[in-house]
Structure 1
């Protein structure tokens, strides 16, 4: 059984290893797009995204990000609010050659850094372990065990 603290740690570790989420403004599911999350190890309540001022996400507001770990054993839905990040230090902190390939430098007038202030998350760990996986293969009910690997929490 994983604790809330364990599942949060597993989530942040998995997101750091593969920082890709599907991000959408609430009420606009057709606008969900893959985005690369920029992480600060000391900021467990926020994630940043580079985009352009012309992109539909630039409007900000309530948003949802969904995440699946590379091994498909951890899944997360994040709720929060997208706001414009005005800190030049954050732009410098997260700038990389990959980001640079999308813009004409850090002073590109189209460049926008959004911060998603996280409010809550729902985390599922689908790795129930060898014994519970065998139980599933044999048709036994593992719902109680699975419920112990799921948490709704604030971030």
Structure 2
């Protein structure tokens, strides 16, 4: 989660916003990044738990902010590999669902045509390709994320 402390616009034109503060989320998993409009707000920051002032460029990939945690000495941020893997698997599951959703309307229409006996050979072939694609997606082991090899829908 990224936050911007509600402050007046910077009265310090030299302030470059190169530092941020990070602290653990209340859930104990992941971190919150706080940005500041002026140096005086950064200097005045306090928090009840451990927190770290860090250069913005030293932050890990913020896409996986929920996998961040402090190192043992609380002087750097590390990415928890187990949490990261869980996030990547969840991302892969969402991507799989999205890929199935993208072809679902066409698949349903072709299946209806087949049941009504009004489908031609070309569309029957396309229906079979779509169905095989969806089956391949459903059988895909996304636990290997991020190294998932996605099936392709052949034209």
Question: Normalized against structure 2, the TM-score is what?
Answer: 0.28
Q: Whose relative contact order is higher, 1 or 2, with alpha carbons under 8 Å and at least 6 apart?
A: 1
Larger strand share, 1 or 2: 1
Structure that is richer in helix per residue: 2
TM-score by length of 1: 0.28
